[in-house]
Amino acid sequence: MTVITGVTCPVCGTFCDDIELVVKDNVIIDVRNACAMGAAKFLSYAAHRSLKPLVRKNGELVEASMDEAVEKAAKILVDAAYPILYGWSNTSCEAIRVGLELAEEVGGVIDNTSTVCHGPSILSVQDVGIASCTLGQLRHRADLIFYWASNPWSAHPRHIERYTMFSEGRFQKSTWRGYLSRLSGGLSRKRLQRAVNLVLRRDIFTTPEVKRRMPYSMFQKKRKMVVVDVRKTRTAEAADYFLQVEPNKDYELLQAMRMLIRDEELDVDEVAGVPVETLEEVADIMVGCELGVFFFGLGLTMSEGKHRNVDAALHLTRDLNQRTKFLIMPMRGHFNVTGVNIVFTWQTGYPYAIDFSHGYPRYNPGETSVIDILNRDEADASLIVASDPVAHFPRKTVQNLVKNPLIAIDPEVSPTTLLADVVFPSAFVGIEAEGTAYRMDHVPLPLKKIVEPPKTCLSDEEILRKILQKVHKMRRNQN
Amino acid sequence: MPKLKVSLITGRTINQGRGKEMGKLSKEYLESVVICQIDPNDMKFLGVKENTNVKVITDFGSVVLKAVKSARAPHPKIVFIPYGPWASFIMNPKTHGTGMSSLKGIPAEVEPAPNEKVLSLQNLLNQFRKERR
């Protein structure tokens, strides 16, 4: 039995690097420090996987040799006029580099999952610019933390603990104890309310009055957290203050904030469902902080306005920097989604949605992004690496994806691999294969190899290299 | 039958996140993504109880899901479905030139469907298979 320390967790963008694993006979038997998602991955990653490459014959997926699968995959890519190479956020930078080479060789479009995640944020950063930093700075110095349209409690479970409210920084103390006492107070209040409802036979569905008054903790000189979201989440419960914004109204709220920061008057009573008095109080607190930060999530990029919402958030940060120090950071989802953008950019000049069909890289999201290409039904084959678009793309888009030949490289069985024509089960990067990945604040960290993969499962990088070599050979023969 | 016009939000839940890491075919994942969280008052209006099936309809399709009482109300006329094949089934594919389809704040309708069944993953994927060349 060995204990391996300092393991990075290949799940979410927080990319924790303090995981400890207990390994016995090439099996992980215990996990320490990980969140529910990390622990689930380390302990049951091997529960649903196929071990051998699969090729579709007569409508059924049947086991095949690696050579046969590589041959078939290479033929699909060589025969295609406009193939899509999509996914990449759940694999290592080394595999992504090979993927780019393959995309250039076959003259296809290479896109990553940020296209349906923080793609609009990237567009906006290119337009406006971003004032950002590493998470270590925020852990030690930030005294006002905003989670805007983001729910780290569910999507990045250790973000609050490692980098913001519950982390013990050099200049900012953890607010963990305060949260615990507030939580137990809240629970007793709820219990009492329930008892009163029972006694008075009151309808338990009565909507509780929403408190608009700013709590005392917002005026104390200590770390504070504000959550802005369309519904109350667990993150919102842990916050000092929660602003409930109407769906699709973030843009209005952000622009109203900008006006207040610039000492302009708003001649309405409320904006996006929030009273202007409340906004004025929040604006005062923002201007009064020493170092504030916005962490924004997909609530901005996925709702109406998309990159314009992020534009407003970036502009608000810029305006705030005239009065105090404020930073902003997107809450990236997958553990290496930042890494894909970085590798794509240093190889081609562009972060996502790159079209090689002209022989040189072209970038025009809306035209060369994978959802748009599929909606227009232009692609005639696809290679999906470490991603599950069948589960996460809209129905019409998926229909156009699966009707053409589909190759999937994925360690897990997923809806995408179930509908694919060639499936390569790969080794789990970060557990069975090494590599490099970038945390959400652009810090590169190593992915460790903890256990040996099954003999038939190669890493994503090795599989892609085999396909690339085969494609080279076929194209040479064609010419 | 009562119908409720709502704004549909999709997103991550910790159960969905944990489930997907246990495997996309695991019971935990499949159970975590076939739910629709509704405000208790809206459930009362629709006349549905916890775990009754409801039909969520958008301009792009409809899907039957299990109604779950939202733990953190009030959020009147906002329903939440975790990311997954069922939520994606009724999403708006239009990107408005940004590359990003709309996944949050989509106008939708919810109605009770106590006699309809939630599609299994296999049946859901079969709908795509029919379209294959």
* pLDDT tens sequence across A195-239: 888 888 776 555 555 556 788 888 888 999 999 999 999 999 899
Question: Is residue A215 included in any domain, yes or no?
Answer: yes
pLDDT, tens digit, for every residue of B9-67?
999 999 999 999 999 999 999 999 999 999 999 999 999 999 999 999 999 999 999 99
| Domain residue extents for chain B | 4-129
Contact B26 A48 (CB under 8 A): yes
Task: Say whether residue A46 is in contact with chain B using an 8 A CB cutoff.
Answer: no
Contact A139, A439 (CB under 8 A): no
Rounded to an integer, the average pLDDT of A297-317 is 95
Whether pLDDT at A347 is above 80:
yes
Its domain, for residue A252, covers: 119-330
Phi, psi of B32 (to 5 degrees): -80, -15
Nearest-CA distance A274 → chain B (Å): 14
Contact A311, A120 (CB under 8 A): no
For residue B44, the chain A residue with the least C-alpha distance is: A205
| Enclosing H/E stretch for A54 | strand A54-57
> To 5 degrees, how large is the angle CA A229–CA A151–CA A439?
130
> Which of residues A330, A351, A377 is at a domain's end?
A330
Contact A127, A371 (CB under 8 A): no
Buried b / exposed e along A294-309 (16+ C-beta atoms within 10 A): bbbbbbbbbbbbbbbb
Q: Would you say the ipTM is above 0.85?
A: yes
Q: Are residues A224 and A274 in the same domain?
A: yes
Cα distances (Å, whole numbers) of residue A164 to A175, A290, A411, A425, B100: 9, 15, 33, 38, 29
Q: State residue A71's pLDDT score.
A: 97
Q: Are residues A322 and A355 in the same domain?
A: no
Those residues whose C-beta lies under 8 Å from the C-beta of residue B14, and which sit 6 or more positions away, are A36, A37, A153, A154, A157, A234
The angle, 0 to 180 degrees and rounded to 10, between the axes of the packed helices A93-106 and A337-348 is: 50
Task: Say whether residue B105 is in contact with chain A using an 8 A CB cutoff.
Answer: yes
> Which of residues A330, A354, A387 is at a domain's end?
A330
Q: How many domains does chain A have?
A: 2
Overall pTM surpassing 0.90 (yes/no): yes
Rounded to an integer, the average pLDDT of A140-167 is 96
Q: Are residues A289 and A360 in the same domain?
A: no
Nearest-CA distance B101 → chain A (Å): 7
Question: Is residue A440 included in any domain, yes or no?
Answer: no
Q: State residue A210's pLDDT score.
A: 54
Question: Is residue A403 included in any domain, yes or no?
Answer: yes
Q: Are residues A164 and A275 in the same domain?
A: yes
Whether pLDDT at A178 is above 90:
no
For residue A373, the chain B residue with the least C-alpha distance is: B99
- Helix, strand, coil percentages for chain B (3-state, nearest 5): 25, 30, 40
Q: Report the percent of chain A where pLDDT is more than 70.
A: 98
Question: Is residue A17 included in any domain, yes or no?
Answer: no
Give residue B132's pLDDT band: very low, low, confident or very high (50, 70, 90). Answer: low
> Which of residues A330, A362, A392 is at a domain's end?
A330
Q: Are residues A151 and A250 in the same domain?
A: yes
CATH of the domain at A305: 3.40.228.10
Distance CA(A21)–CA(A5), nearest Å, equals: 7
Task: Say whether residue A236 is in contact with chain B using an 8 A CB cutoff.
Answer: yes
Closest CA to A217 of A260, A252, A182: A182
pLDDT, tens digit, for every residue of B57-71?
999 999 999 999 998
Q: State residue A444's pLDDT score.
A: 97
Give me the residue from B98, B129, B133 closest to A123, CB to CB: B98
Task: Say whether residue A4 is in contact with chain B using an 8 A CB cutoff.
Answer: no
Q: Are residues A290 and A380 in the same domain?
A: no
Distance CA(A167)–CA(A137), nearest Å, equals: 12
Q: Are residues A321 and A344 in the same domain?
A: no
Q: Are residues A263 and A155 in the same domain?
A: yes
- Helix, strand, coil percentages for chain A (3-state, nearest 5): 40, 20, 40
Distance CA(A182)–CA(A177), nearest Å, equals: 9
Whether pLDDT at A338 is above 90:
yes
Q: Is A267 helix (H, G, I), strand (E, B) or coil?
A: coil
Q: Are residues A106 and A156 in the same domain?
A: no
Question: Is residue A238 included in any domain, yes or no?
Answer: yes
Task: Say whether residue A123 is in contact with chain B using an 8 A CB cutoff.
Answer: yes
Q: Is B58 helix (H, G, I), strand (E, B) or coil?
A: strand
Residue in the block written with tokens 């504070």: A224
CATH of the domain at A104: 3.40.50.740
Contact A36, B17 (CB under 8 A): yes
Question: Is residue A435 included in any domain, yes or no?
Answer: no
The residue type of B88 is S
Q: Are residues A111 and A232 in the same domain?
A: no
Question: Is residue A219 included in any domain, yes or no?
Answer: yes
Task: Say whether residue B3 is in contact with chain A using an 8 A CB cutoff.
Answer: no
Q: Are residues A321 and A351 in the same domain?
A: no
Contact A327, A132 (CB under 8 A): yes
Q: Are residues A245 and A127 in the same domain?
A: yes
Mean pLDDT of chain A: 94
The residue type of A174 is S
**Class of the CATH-defined domain B4-129:** mainly beta
Q: State residue A219's pLDDT score.
A: 87
β B35-38/B61-69 pair status: parallel
Contact A411, A387 (CB under 8 A): no
Question: Is residue A91 included in any domain, yes or no?
Answer: yes
Check the CA dihedral A459-A465-A468-A473 and report its sign.
Answer: negative
Distance CA(B85)–CA(B82), nearest Å, equals: 10
For residue B41, the chain A residue with the least C-alpha distance is: A205
pLDDT, tens digit, for every residue of A352-391?
999 999 999 999 999 999 999 999 999 999 999 999 999 9
